[in-house]
Structure 1
């Protein structure tokens, strides 16, 4: 089911994915651009109901894989929307050579959404390279994996302990410790964060966590260790 977050912005939840027994919720965001075309961020598993709901919003023109971890459903979306262009975070086209990518994302917005959606690549992390987006009209910033927030009781047993130590279940959205430790170039990460914290963002949307307001306050506190 599509949930409207703001004018021209919707989100949808997908099935949980499991990694080493840790179950992660999935979330995508759909933004209707000024030309009526849809920008689909972090596409989740495509079902007939989801496809019908998306089609009701407009034509899918842009499929965006925002980091090197969020790509599992991309092929199904490409098959369903062959007219759409596919954009991947740096490193993803090489990782998924079985998929066709039209563009590798950079800090420069693509012409189709320039002036509407800003973007910034966070490099220097050994786990993933992530592209963060900012939709100007709704003041919404999109993080994929570098900020997460799970309910305290989401995990059970020893996984709950690991999640707590990793800050996945911290009181507010945080950068998990594994990602903090994986930053090999903190200067580059700080430069990217300086760009992101200058965006006048109100709402933070994460792939793994419920949307929250006070986006800039949350982002600054999440990255205060940096």
Structure 2
């Protein structure tokens, strides 16, 4: 993908440019990926959660879903306070949307639509920003983590 973007430019989630005016080379990914990326990447903004403005990515050749904050998983044994926090947030030893983010959803219909599109992708592994890689039953774990958005119950 070399040459897909001019030197010194950066790509960011929709709304990031408004939050970071100090990044003048930032190009917003407002639904359309650069043409050079389209054969290998799919992108889904996780709508309905304005606190994040997160985009979720599928690297098609490897069937890898790349997620930053909307889904988390902490299997490691951390300090007692970190274990307690992750247990309360619902992210210790299982893939989940942190409870704190669930409460931040402002448009359930938009979040549910994003979750449905993400769960429809053929996922074989999950690459999470918080130092976790899930390779076993990745699609099933993804579906379970977002099931609360895919059901009719709020």
Normalising by structure 2, what TM-score? 0.86
Query: Which among 68, 76, 100 is matched to residue 144 of structure 1?
Result: 68
- Indicate conservation of the 8 Å contact 1:148/1:209, yes or no: no
1: distance between equivalents of 2:79 and 2:25? 35
Q: Mapping of 1:170-209 within 5 angstroms?
A: 171-209=93-131
Report how far residue 151 of structure 1 moved. 2.7
Cα distance in structure 2, aligned partners of 1:140 and 1:128: 21
**How far did residue 184 of structure 1 move?**
0.6
- Tell me what 2:53 maps to: 129
Residue 161 (structure 1) shift: 2.0
- Partner in structure 2 of residue 25 of structure 1: none
The unaligned stretches of length 5 or more in structure 1 are: 1-32, 38-58, 63-81
* 1: CA distance, partners of 2:113 / 2:45: 10
From the two aligned structures, give the one with the greater strand fraction.
1
Q: Which runs of 5+ in 2 are unaligned?
A: 150-154
Q: What's the CA shift for 1:113?
A: 0.4
Q: CA RMSD in A?
A: 1.9
- How far, CA to CA, are the matches of 1:218 and 1:107 in structure 2? 26
2:56 partner SS: strand
Q: Give runs of aligned pairs for residues 74-89 of structure 1, distance below 5 A.
A: 83-89=7-13
Secondary structure at the counterpart of residue 97 of structure 2: coil
Q: C-alpha separation between the residues in 2 aligned to 1:84 and 1:133?
A: 22
Question: What is the number of equivalent residue pairs in this alignment?
Answer: 148
Q: Is 1:163 equivalent to 2:58 in the alignment?
A: no
Which has the bigger relative contact order, CA under 8 A and spacing at least 6? 2
1:1-226 to 2 correspondence within 5 Å? 33=1, 37=2, 83-151=7-75, 153-157=77-81, 159-169=82-92, 171-213=93-135, 214-226=137-149
How far off is 1:215 after superposition? 2.4
Instruction: Return 215-224 or 146-155, whichever deviates more.
Output: 146-155
173-182 or 96-105: bigger deviation = 96-105
Separation of aligned partners in 1, 2:88 and 2:104: 16
Counterpart Cα distance in 1 of 2:134 and 2:43: 19
